[in-house]
Amino acid sequence: MLKSKTFLKKTRAGGVMKIVREHYLRDDIGCGASGCAACGGAHEGPVLEPQPLDPASSLCPQPHYLLPDTNVLLHQIDVLEDPAIRNVIVLQTVLQEVRNRSAPVYKRIRDVTNNQEKHFYTFTNEHHRETYVEQEQGENSNDRNDRAIRVAAKWYNEHLKKMSAENQLQVIFITNDRKNKEKAIEEGIPAFTCEEYIKSLTANPELIDRLACLSEEGNEIESGKIIFSEHLPLSKLQQGIKSGTYLQGTFRASRENYLEATVWVHGDTEENKEIILQGLKNLNRAIHEDIVAVELLPKSQWVAPSSVVLHDEGQNEDDMEKEEERERILKSAVSEKMLKPTGRIVGIIKRNWRPYCGMLSKSDIKESRRHLFTPADKRIPRIRIETRQASTLEGQRIIVAVDGWPRSSRYPNGHFVKNLGEVGDKETETEVLLLEHDVPHQPFSQAVLGFLPKMPWSITEQDMENREDLRHLCVCSVDPPGCTDIDDALHCRELKNGNLEVGVHIADVSHFIRPGNALDQESARRGTTVYLCEKRIDMVPELLSSNLCSLRSNVDRLAFSCIWEMNDNAEILKTRFTKSVINSKASLTYAEAQMRIDSATMNDNITTSLRGLNKLAKILKKRRIEKGALTLSSPEVRFHMDSETHDPIDLQTKELRETNSMVEEFMLLANISVAKKIHEEFSEHALLRKHPAPPPSNYEILVKAAKSKNLEIKTDTAKSLADSLDRADSPIFPYLNTLLRILATRCMMQAVYFCSGMDNDFHHYGLASPIYTHFTSPIRRYADIIVHRLLAVAIGADCTYPELTDKHKLADLCKNLNFRHKMAQYAQRASVAFHTQLFFKSKGIVSEEAYILFVKKNAIVVLIPKYGLEGTVFFEEKDKPKPRLIYDDEVPSLKIEDTVFHIFDKVKVKIMLDSSNLQHQKIRMSLVEPQIPGISVPPDTSNTDMNEPERKKKKLQK
């Protein structure tokens, strides 16, 4: 049956166009109940059970199916995903509305409907002859959709009566819309709110915790006290942004201070790029990463960023007077030039909430169901949830979702989603840090694995087309110990004309991952391999990463080679690129390669090749540094793991050898050579990497710190910075230069991927190179796969495809890659921090020498070179008399009683694991030397917190 709508539309040119919309109605669409004689086998895919054996409902004891409306699907998806909820009819009307309103929920619903065990059935009611409804005159689309849902529910109940008269199957309509529910009951449809139905499932009380807490605006004033000002409606915000009254930007909460945040204003205006917000009322219920509208305050109300460290630790959730007192602490007297544009939030344009990991802070009130949840991420406020299983969830890592934030509530409301496991457990904590940093870590799906080559795999004649056979060359790889995903290998040999031939051979991953298939899409989504302390989250499946693409020794492997002809002075005479086949003669560690180079007795081909490479690398490095490339430092640590428990038993800073530098030099050279080539060929859509020069203000802290030690650091160019860092050393303080380089690293901007057609500044500041890209690690970075594809097209070794030459698609890809790389970096740091805690848990208390990196108003941040560990020493502690603190921002320095601390001063600190806060177990540092009465601690004191690791240790030894 055909329904058609005809309407007239005016065109831009002023003409009139007749539009006919045809809508096909069918009578062969199945109801989804298996065994329904009326429908036959019309339904495909997962179907409803003929006899639903779901948990018994006290409201509806007979067997039934559920039919939720759009809002239930959008807000109660956590309940619907629970294994206890099965046999649900998802209408096409509902699915379309969900798709338009929330892509993440839509994806979750698709996943649930594809799960055979859940028995969710999608019913195409919009194309069924008996359930299709037309919009009536004067009826808005929302009311029409509500009516369509009720019509479908009524049809189902009548249809199922025919199926089994003696066995009364019912369809229950679930809606939280009061009016819709009343209309349904009038029409004879059994209808309940989501809460009523879930509470009636007496066998599954845990489901109640997963209900989203939705307060209607009208019922908000439960405590009667309005704390926050109202958010303006979107229409007013958009008008205000257009007229310039308000500014739109991304809300960034502070980790150090819960009463302070910044808004990064969108757009290209340099003025007011970053706006400071101080005080709860000005933050006005925004949550980290929300898109907000801000009103600038008059200059007389501008403030300076606070140097105070404040964490929200109050138990009494509505103690606003205390908050106001803390806000006054922030407003200390500051010089006029420190003031920054300051504003207040007037409305939320887009909420960017996600499920949050954290722990339950159980209420002190006995039998209370309302508790506060403290997220692991300190930038997220605490969330109020209702749960009946508080005693079992105590000491567990859980996931909670935010539902809303009423004006009368100090904290947002939310609901419990999932229990991850016990706090401190290695598996649980790893899961938390992967979830918190949005690292995709689910096993690869069958759809992805289906695109892997079939085993046993070997190189075919077809693979050899457009490839050079370089298996005769003496190629070897040099990597960290235990590395299985070997991306790169090198060779160096003397040519007959006396010159040298040097080759960098990179795994040919793009041969296996073809554009657009499921494997390619998943690799692009992951963006990078994430290396945790004892776990690797691969970007590509293990068959490729550790086997077919890995350039292991003594096996034939496909590669992409960059080969130079050089003279003895490392000057490039010729460059060529080719797809190739290689056979690596040795997989060495950095230490093994170094041993060969240094050995007086070894003179085999591999060693000769390594010596040639090392000699050239030294020349390349010297030349690069002369151009102004920076040699920066960061304290990297390496854990030695117990082979059985996998706990860290030793922790030391990584040792860098000449061979590390040798490999790095040739990787840099290959990346630069490839960048030039792909930009020559594709000036508009080359994927490149740039490192912007930091703004001068970034260097203030470095310049001041050096000045306090009577050293001058020039920062006008990378070259002057590099030279002044080379000159900045002190014979009586040899570690000073390393500290300056560590501090200089903190001043740097993030390097980013970009598309050449969307930017005109290509310069890489840190490497002092006019152009750069990533080509040398395609097993672990997706950017390199794109670069391989571009290079393959440039040399005629592969064909192009539309997305490769679409600069807007490439720019979007770069945005995702930059995000994934940043998150991988943060996840790696979190993993190091967690393993450092495990190390000090078993080690107990230690005292070590440290150097001050930063001076704050009430604390110093120190670095312990022995462990590459950074931490904060606080000078104001709860329930202790406050010392006399004088902070000078100009120097910067902090005077405590009669002792003055400057950056880079040497101190002695005591390190221990503070387990008093299970959620944020942290390495706690106390000052041992210099001795300040009332502040310093003797190196061997112990209290209950510190003894905890000792007690655990004894238990382990039993």
What pLDDT band is residue 920 in, cutting at 50, 70 and 90? low
Q: What is the pLDDT of residue 861?
A: 83
Could you give the CA distance from residue 303 to residue 299 in angstroms, rounded to a whole number?
A: 9
| DSSP tag of 535 | -
Question: Are 695 and 689 within 8 A, CB to CB?
Answer: no
Question: Are 394 and 362 within 8 A, CB to CB?
Answer: yes
- Over residues 495-512, the mean pLDDT reads 92
| pLDDT tens-digit map of 619-673 | 999 998 888 887 766 655 555 555 555 556 555 555 667 888 899 999 999 999 9
pLDDT at 946 over 80: no
* pTM for this model (two decimals): 0.77
Beta-sheet strand order (sheet of 343-350): 274-278, 260-265, 246-253, 291-296, 343-350
Question: Are 580 and 506 within 8 A, CB to CB?
Answer: no
- Express as a percent the part of the chain with pLDDT over 70: 86
Dihedral pair phi/psi, residue 803, rounded to 5°: -65, -25
* Residue 545, token pair as written in the block: 């990463």
* Residue 924, token pair as written in the block: 């706690």
* Residue 89, token pair as written in the block: 């009819």
Could you give the CA distance from residue 706 to residue 742 in angstroms, rounded to a whole number?
A: 12
Half-sphere exposure of 702 (CA within 13 A, CB side): 25
Half-sphere exposure of 535 (CA within 13 A, CB side): 19
Q: With the C-alpha atoms ordered 603, 501, 670, 571, is the resulting torsion angle positive or negative? A: positive
305 exposed, middle or buried (CB, 10 Å; 0-12, 13-18, 19+)? middle
Least confident of 492-506, 542-556, 860-874: 860-874
Could you give the CA distance from residue 614 to residue 601 in angstroms, rounded to a whole number?
A: 18
Beta strand 556-566 with 413-422 is unpaired
| pLDDT tens-digit map of 564-576 | 999 999 899 999 9
pLDDT at 17 over 90: no
* Residue 139, token pair as written in the block: 């009826």
Buried b (16+ CB within 10 A) or exposed e, 485-524: bbbbbbbbeeeeeebbbbbbbbbbbbbbbebeeebbebbb
| pLDDT tens-digit map of 44-75 | 656 788 777 766 777 888 888 899 999 898 88
Question: Are 906 and 850 within 8 A, CB to CB?
Answer: yes
Cis peptide before 949 (omega within 30 of 0): no
- Over residues 582-590, the mean pLDDT reads 92
What pLDDT band is residue 504 in, cutting at 50, 70 and 90? very high
- Over residues 131-145, the mean pLDDT reads 86
Q: What is the pLDDT of residue 956?
A: 33
Beta strand 530-531 with 536-537 is antiparallel
Nearest Cα to 577, choosing from 804, 755, 788?
Answer: 788
Could you give the CA distance from residue 336 to residue 4 in angstroms, rounded to a whole number?
A: 69
Q: What is the pLDDT of residue 648?
A: 60
Higher per-residue confidence, 602 vs 1: 602
**Contact residues for 840 (Cβ-Cβ < 8 A; gap 6+):** 846, 911, 912, 913, 923, 949
Nearest Cα to 399, choosing from 439, 440, 359, 429?
Answer: 359
Question: Are 907 and 859 within 8 A, CB to CB?
Answer: no
| pLDDT tens-digit map of 272-317 | 688 889 888 889 999 998 999 998 888 888 887 776 666 666 555 5
Higher per-residue confidence, 438 vs 922: 438
Q: Residue type at 536?
A: R
Highest mean pLDDT among 419-423, 769-773, 844-848: 769-773
Q: What is the pLDDT of residue 603?
A: 85
| DSSP tag of 677 | H
| pLDDT tens-digit map of 186-240 | 888 889 998 888 888 877 888 888 888 765 443 444 445 788 888 988 888 888 8
- Which helix (H) or strand (E) is 422 found in, with range? strand 413-422
- Over residues 416-430, the mean pLDDT reads 86
Beta-sheet strand order (sheet of 120-123): 120-123, 88-91, 64-68, 170-174, 191-192
Question: Are 568 and 619 within 8 A, CB to CB?
Answer: no
**Contact residues for 48 (Cβ-Cβ < 8 A; gap 6+):** 32, 33, 34, 65, 87, 89, 119, 121
| pLDDT tens-digit map of 431-485 | 888 988 889 888 888 888 989 999 888 888 888 888 899 999 999 999 988 888 8
Nearest Cα to 849, choosing from 735, 948, 953?
Answer: 735
Could you give the CA distance from residue 653 to residue 735 in angstroms, rounded to a whole number?
A: 14
Q: What is the pLDDT of residue 314?
A: 56
pLDDT at 841 over 70: yes
pLDDT at 334 over 60: no
Dihedral pair phi/psi, residue 433, rounded to 5°: -70, -30
Question: Are 607 and 695 within 8 A, CB to CB?
Answer: no
Q: What is the pLDDT of residue 320?
A: 58
